[in-house]
């Protein structure tokens, strides 16, 4: 056993981030993920921050996979893909809506060779509606979903992008969960199904759990929506920054004692959780004025002694060395045949009986074309014919 999904086979037609992150998660957990690429390769192979012919983005989202190059515009390449799909449990694509059907890899075409397959489609804005056919990149989803106004802190402030591709990554995580659920359903019912999800739907759902309070109660929406107060819980100290989260009464009391400011407990505005939320801006300003008087280390000592939730604000360089991150063993080092020594994270979910692992580095483009085709019953002559026609490509060297 090399993970809880050992024995499942996934044909991955996706590119960029959302789809590859979904399948990388499943590959980490033991699934055999066959990444089928066009001769030009996944665009993520060609972006910046590179070594040994690999981009960091491609390395981090495509480990534990095997790469097969098939030209799906060639009839023999398309036929070869269908032979692979006939033995797969899942096929996943993130083409723009309508493209998969146009090139011959839509659900009907794939289900004709494998009726029980789990067919997965990832879209940007959705599968119907005025934006369905639009080209999509992460910032566009942030804009349409309202995430940029949440990040700004209020509906009146200038919208701001989250400075990471959150919609792509959250969609990848959601897709991996949905695929696992569909496989569980198939194990119980014997029937495959089509799983559709869009980046827009995923982010709207993501925001609703904490950032759409005024829009939850029908008829009481109000005119404006402010972001949750925890977005502002970064405070300046004399030598850096600290995050302090004071939510419950006991934490407010603990903060007051740690700060040697019992007087703030008498302020009527902050006596209750409701009041502290209503007068949020005043509360945040008060906390900042207090925290600015001591250094980070002293505040951490004082606040931890009173069991007040707090933590230092770390840079990316600092987080790698932080003792809690090291204790979690989340960051690993491993050797990649072409890219050299890499630092990557392990799969965050730990399984006591079927542990996930980093088995393979991200593959060379077409590095396993012949190997995978042979496993699926292609003879040596058939493979040579596919290569001669340009329908399949095996990496050189």
Q: Output the pTM of the full model.
A: 0.92
pLDDT tens-place string over residues 98-139: 999 999 999 999 999 999 999 999 999 999 999 999 999 999
155 — pLDDT class (breaks 50, 70, 90) = confident
Report the C-alpha gap between 351 and 143 in whole angstroms: 37
Mean pLDDT over 175-203 rounds to 98
Quick check: 234 and 313 in contact, CB under 8 A?
A: yes
- Look at the domain 9-207+332-393 and name its fold: Rossmann fold (3.40.50)
Could you give the CA distance from residue 233 to residue 276 in angstroms, rounded to a whole number? 14
Cα distance between the two ends of the chain:
31
CA distance 25 to 32: 11
Condensed to tens digits (0 to 9), the pLDDT of residues 9-31 reads 999 999 999 999 999 999 999 99
Cα 270 to chain center, whole Å?
38
Q: Where are the domains of the chain?
A: 9-207+332-393, 241-312
Q: Which two tokens stand for residue 41?
A: 């390769």
Question: Over pLDDT 70: what percentage of the chain?
Answer: 97
Tell me how far apart the alpha carbons of residues 388 and 366 are, in angstroms, rounded to a whole number.
Answer: 15
Site of tokens 């799969």: 347
- How far is it, in rounded angstroms, from Cα 218 to Cα 372? 54
- Point out which residues pair with 54 in neighbouring strands: 51
Task: Tell me the per-residue pLDDT of 217-266, one tens digit each, with 9 for 90 and over.
Answer: 898 876 666 555 445 689 999 999 999 999 899 999 999 999 999 999 99
For residue 290, pLDDT over 50 is answered with: yes
Q: Are 172 and 15 in contact (CB under 8 A)?
A: no
Beta strands in 277-330, from DSSP E residues, in sequence order: 310-312
* CATH 3.30.1540.10 at 241-312, yes or no: yes
Which range among 115-119, 153-157, 339-343 shows the weakest confidence by mean pLDDT? 153-157
Strands (DSSP E) found in the chain: 9-12, 32-37, 50-51, 54-55, 65-70, 90-93, 118-123, 194-198, 234-236, 241-244, 310-312, 331-336, 340-345, 392-393
* Nearby residues of 37 by Cβ (< 8 Å), 6 or more positions away: 15, 67, 68, 69, 70, 365, 366
User: How buried is residue 243: exposed, middle or buried, by Cβ count under 10 Å (0-12/13-18/19+)?
Assistant: middle
The Cα–Cα gap between 288 and 78 comes to: 62
- Alpha carbons 268 and 256: distance in angstroms, whole number: 14
For range 293-309, the mean pLDDT:
97
């Amino acid at each position: 056993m090399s993970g809880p999904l050992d024995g499942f086979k996934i044909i991955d037609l996706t590119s960029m981030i959302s789809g590859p992150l979904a399948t990388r998660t499943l590959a980490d957990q033991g699934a055999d993920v066959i990444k089928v690429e066009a001769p030009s390769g996944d665009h993520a192979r060609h972006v910046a921050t590179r070594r040994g012919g690999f981009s960091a983005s491609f390395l981090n989202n495509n480990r534990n996979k095997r790469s097969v190059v098939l030209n799906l515009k060639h009839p023999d390449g398309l036929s070869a893909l269908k032979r692979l799909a006939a033995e797969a449990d899942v096929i996943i694509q993130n083409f723009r809506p309508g493209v998969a059907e146009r090139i011959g890899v839509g659900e009907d075409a794939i289900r004709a060779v494998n009726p029980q397959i789990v067919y997965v489609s990832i879209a940007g804005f959705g599968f119907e509606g005025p934006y369905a056919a639009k080209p999509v990149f992460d910032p566009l989803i942030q804009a349409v979903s309202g995430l940029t106004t949440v990040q700004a802190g209020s509906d009146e402030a200038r919208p701001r992008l989250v400075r990471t591709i959150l919609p792509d990554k959250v969609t990848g995580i959601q897709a991996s969960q949905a695929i696992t659920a569909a496989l569980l359903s198939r194990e119980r019912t014997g029937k495959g199904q089509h799983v559709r999800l869009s980046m827009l739907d995923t982010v709207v759902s993501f925001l609703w759990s904490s950032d759409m309070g005024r829009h939850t109660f029908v008829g009481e929406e109000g005119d404006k929506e402010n972001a949750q107060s925890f977005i502002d819980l970064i405070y300046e100290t004399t030598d850096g920054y600290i995050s302090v989260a004071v939510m419950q009464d006991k934490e407010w009391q603990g903060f007051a004692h740690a700060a040697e400011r019992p007087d703030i407990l008498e302020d009527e505005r902050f006596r209750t959780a409701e009041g502290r939320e209503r007068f949020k801006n005043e509360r945040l300003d008060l906390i900042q004025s207090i925290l600015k008087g001591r250094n980070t280390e002293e505040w951490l000592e004082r606040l931890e002694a009173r069991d007040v939730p707090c933590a230092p604000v770390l840079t990316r360089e600092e987080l790698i060395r932080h003792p809690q991150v090291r204790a979690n063993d989340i960051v690993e080092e491993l050797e990649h045949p072409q890219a050299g020594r890499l630092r990557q994270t392990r799969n965050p979910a730990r399984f006591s009986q079927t542990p996930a692992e980093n088995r393979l580095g991200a593959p060379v483009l077409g590095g396993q074309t012949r190997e995978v085709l042979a496993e699926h019953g292609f003879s040596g002559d058939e493979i040579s014919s596919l290569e001669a026609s340009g329908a399949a490509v095996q990496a050189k060297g």
